[in-house]
Amino acid sequence: MDRVIRVGMLGCGTVGGGVASILSRGSADITARAGAEVRVTRVAVRDTGKDRGLSLPAEIFTTDARSVVEADDVDVIVEVMGGRQPASELLRRALELGKPVVTANKELVAHEGPELYAMARTARVDFAYEAAVAGAIPIIKPLKESLAGDRVRRVVGILNGTTNYILTRMTEDGASYGDALAEAQRLGYAEADPTADVGGHDAAAKTAILSSLAFDMAVHDRDVFREGIEGVTATDIGVADRLGYVVKLLGIAHREGDALAVRVYPAFLPKTHPLAAVRDSFNAIYVDAEAAGELMFYGRGAGALPTGSAVVGDLIDVSRNLLQTARGASESIHRPTSLFPVDELQTQYYVLLEVADRPGVLADVARTFGRHDVSIAQVWQDGGGESARLVLITHRAREGSLRDTVEALAETPAVRKVASVLRVEARRCSTRNVNP
Ligand code: NAP
Ligand code: HSE
């Protein structure tokens, strides 16, 4: 086969290295599947002197990323450098030049995806980003193509491997949050600054990308209500376990009429929910669609080869399209973006209070919930004396009402501290038949 698709790579770190090694070891099959040899002809990095352990020739490396984008001997751009800039500027330039793009950059796609999709449509070239959400797991294509004839009701994802690893260690080994985070850092899951993962920013970016595709609206990372796992304690995990739940960091998007309700937070999830079995650093996405029903997508959300697999899959798709002067399916962001107000969301809640152990305290607490129209489903006391704690599970209530309740509880003299507040998600995911 004498046709060659010439690839310019922006970045050659963890994911870029995975891409290069998958391309070299599977080259015969990849050539047959793509219909042409897929060859890396230029690579932009920060440090051209670094030993990357790859079989790419030294002379194709440069620090001038723009020259890679603009080179005549580059047909396709693979962006695996990460970050918003200069990646945004470089990808916009590539699209202006009519060059298709494959990217793993969730931060960029979550921030300016709809604009980049529109640029690619105008340029009549592909913009592919399967690796940007949940690494190896095919979820972009299923939402964009396979489920195009269906109507998605709800998407729930465990989209961050680091936090899932931390919560798994806390659940299965009884580790504290601090110890589990330190272990995640030692194993290379969590960064030295873990904020993007534990603060839910990474999961929010991925949830925004999935929401755009599932609900046909332009959704950006800033549209996603977000809470991280920093406040989750061993006590919360123990209470969840006693009640038949596990604690997971969830990205959730569902329809509320014509609006989209979208958020990321740690929540109690019933042990019977398919996502409850997703352990360690694995990711999974649960999709509930009107005709297809419940679907689960499970796998590795990070790592050189898993993420590289998704990038190379996109690269083969893009190569096939280039050879036929075609482009793949577009995003259909045809609905005006309408976000359901977070305060109006309804779910059950778990609330843990540190209280004084004396007569009338429970009555004061119950009155505070009642005054804000939040009904209590279960309550019990753990411990006594100076270390008395009240555990409460509410019926479904408005987020705004629960927040007002918590603010009032913090001012109640008998309440020493509102120690935890977490949402309790339902097993059934349809918006109509959620919680009892
Ligand atoms: P990484 O290991 O830090 O690699 C980044 C690469 O980009 C390095 O080769 C670096 O060069 C190069 N680079 C950075 N800034 C540059 C600049 N201004 N000009 C030229 N080259 C530049 O990052 P990564 O983990 O592979 O992640 C890459 C992308 O994939 C990110 O968007 C990330 O969110 C996404 N992603 C990563 C994973 C994962 O498991 N790591 C999973 C899913 C998605 P040097 O090597 O010379 O420093
Ligand atoms: N830091 C991410 C995670 C991987 O822990 O899942 C890249 O998206």
Hunting for tokens 């873990």 — which residue is that? 194
pLDDT tens by residue, 172-189: 999 999 999 999 999 999
Average pLDDT, the chain: 95
**Average pLDDT of the segment spanning 417-422:** 97
Tokens encoding 132: 């940007």
Q: Which atom of ligand 2 is nearest to the CA of 159?
A: 6
* Cα 10 to averaged position of ligand 2 atoms, centre (Å): 19
Q: Which atom of ligand 2 is nearest to the CA of 165?
A: 5
* Cα 64 to averaged position of ligand 1 atoms, centre (Å): 15
**Cβ(241)–Cβ(170) under 8 Å?**
no
How far is the C-alpha of 233 from the C-alpha of 116, rounded, in Å? 40
Judge if the upstream peptide bond of residue 142 is cis by omega within 30 degrees of 0: no
Residue 359 predicted with pLDDT over 60: yes
How far is the C-alpha of 318 from the C-alpha of 8, rounded, in Å? 13
SS (H, E, C) 29-69: HHHHHHCCEEEEEEEECCCCCCCCCCCCCHHHEECCHHHHH
In this prediction, residue 386 carries a pLDDT of 78
* Cα 175 to averaged position of ligand 2 atoms, centre (Å): 21
Ligand nearest to the CA of 203: 2
- The answer, yes or no, to whether any atom of ligand 2 lies below 6 A from the CB of 162, is yes
* Cα 71 to averaged position of ligand 1 atoms, centre (Å): 21
Ligand nearest to the CA of 202: 2
Q: Which residues in the chain are classed under CATH 3.30.360.10?
A: 140-300
Residue 1 predicted with pLDDT over 80: no
Instruction: Write down the catalytic residue from 206, 248, 271, 417.
Output: 206
Superfamily of domain 342-424: ACT domain (3.30.70.260)
In this prediction, residue 431 carries a pLDDT of 41
- The answer, yes or no, to whether any atom of ligand 1 lies below 6 A from the CB of 17, is no
Q: Which of 38-47, 107-116, 328-337, 363-372 has the lowest mean pLDDT?
A: 328-337
pLDDT-based confidence at residue 385 (cuts at 50, 70, 90):
confident
Torsion angles phi and psi, residue 404, rounded to 5: -65, -40
User: In testing the pocket of ligand 1, which one of 19, 40, 43, 46 has its CB within 8 Å of the most ligand atoms?
Assistant: 46
CB atoms within 10 A of CB 288: 18
In this prediction, residue 430 carries a pLDDT of 44
Q: How many CA atoms does the CB half-sphere of 240 hold within 13 Å?
A: 32
Q: Ligand 2, atom 4: nearest CA belongs to which residue?
A: 302
pLDDT-based confidence at residue 27 (cuts at 50, 70, 90):
confident
How far is the C-alpha of 190 from the C-alpha of 185, rounded, in Å? 4
- How does DSSP classify residue 411? T
- The answer, yes or no, to whether any atom of ligand 2 lies below 6 A from the CB of 160, is yes
C-alpha dist (Å) from residue 423 to 63, 266, 347: 47, 7, 7
**Cβ(330)–Cβ(155) under 8 Å?**
no
* Cα 436 to averaged position of ligand 1 atoms, centre (Å): 46
> Which CATH number describes the domain made up of 4-135+304-323?
3.40.50.720
**Cβ(94)–Cβ(113) under 8 Å?**
no
pLDDT-based confidence at residue 371 (cuts at 50, 70, 90):
very high
Is residue 206 flagged as an active site residue? yes
In this prediction, residue 436 carries a pLDDT of 29
Torsion angles phi and psi, residue 144, rounded to 5: -80, -35
**Average pLDDT of the segment spanning 47-58:** 95
Contacts of 155 (CB under 8 A, 6+ apart): 143, 207, 210, 211, 214, 251, 252, 253, 254, 285, 286, 287, 288
**Average pLDDT of the segment spanning 30-50:** 96
* Cα 258 to averaged position of ligand 1 atoms, centre (Å): 38
pLDDT tens by residue, 229-286: 999 999 999 999 999 999 999 999 999 999 999 999 999 999 999 999 999 999 999 9
Decide: pTM greater than 0.75: yes
Helix (H, G, I), strand (E, B) or coil at 323: helix
pLDDT tens by residue, 65-101: 999 999 999 999 999 999 999 999 999 999 999 999 9
**Average pLDDT of the segment spanning 159-170:** 98
pLDDT-based confidence at residue 388 (cuts at 50, 70, 90):
very high
User: Which is higher by pLDDT, 382 or 137?
Assistant: 137
Q: Which of 64-78, 164-178, 314-328, 381-395 has the lowest mean pLDDT?
A: 381-395
Going by C-alpha positions, the residue among 43, 113, 52 that lies closest to residue 79 is 43
CATH number of 140-300, picked from 3.30.470.30, 3.50.50.60, 3.40.50.10860, 3.30.360.10: 3.30.360.10
**Average pLDDT of the segment spanning 308-336:** 95
Contacts of 353 (CB under 8 A, 6+ apart): 365, 389, 390, 392, 409, 415, 416, 417, 418, 419
Label residue 381 exposed, middle or buried (CB < 10 Å: 0-12, 13-18, 19+): middle
- The answer, yes or no, to whether any atom of ligand 1 lies below 6 A from the CB of 45, is yes
In this prediction, residue 422 carries a pLDDT of 98
How far is the C-alpha of 353 from the C-alpha of 419, rounded, in Å? 5
Q: Which residues in the chain are classed under CATH 3.30.70.260?
A: 342-424
Ligand nearest to the CA of 129: 1
Q: Ligand 2, atom 7: nearest CA belongs to which residue?
A: 302
Q: Which residues in the chain are classed under CATH 3.40.50.720?
A: 4-135+304-323
In this prediction, residue 428 carries a pLDDT of 60
- The answer, yes or no, to whether any atom of ligand 1 lies below 6 A from the CB of 164, is no
